[in-house]
Amino acid sequence: MRKLAEECAAAGQATRFEELKHYLAGAPETDSYAEVAGRLGMSASGIKSAVFRLRQRYRDLFRAEIGNTVATTAEIDEEIRYLFGVLRG
C-alpha cells in the first residue's frame, strides 16, 4: 500500500489516492462513488475507473512483493494462497 501511495503522490494524485484507498481494502463504511466523485470533481464512472486501475496496480505491486520472497515465479500464486489462508485463520 505504501508503494502505491508513493506512486500516486509522485504522479500528483495523493488526494485521489487518499479518497480511494479505502476501496482497495473493501472497507464496509466507505462513501459511495458519487460522494467521492463530488469531493474530487469527477464523475461516478470516473471514480469507478480510477478504483479499477488502482486495484490493478495494487495487485501488481502485491504480486511483485510476494515474488521477492519466493525462489521462482511459479511459486507466487501458491504463496499468496498460503498467506490468505493464514489471514483467514
Statement: residue 20 has pLDDT above 70: yes
Place of cell 506512486: 7
**Cα–Cα dist 28/20, whole Å:** 13
Per-residue pLDDT band at 25 (split at 50, 70, 90):
confident
* pLDDT for position 27: 67
Average pLDDT, the chain: 93
Number of domains in the chain: 1
The pTM score is 0.84
**Cα–Cα dist 37/42, whole Å:** 5
Closest C-alpha to 20, from 12, 6, 8: 8
pLDDT tens profile 29-65: 778 999 999 999 999 999 999 999 999 999 999 999 9
Q: Which domain holds residue 12?
A: 2-88
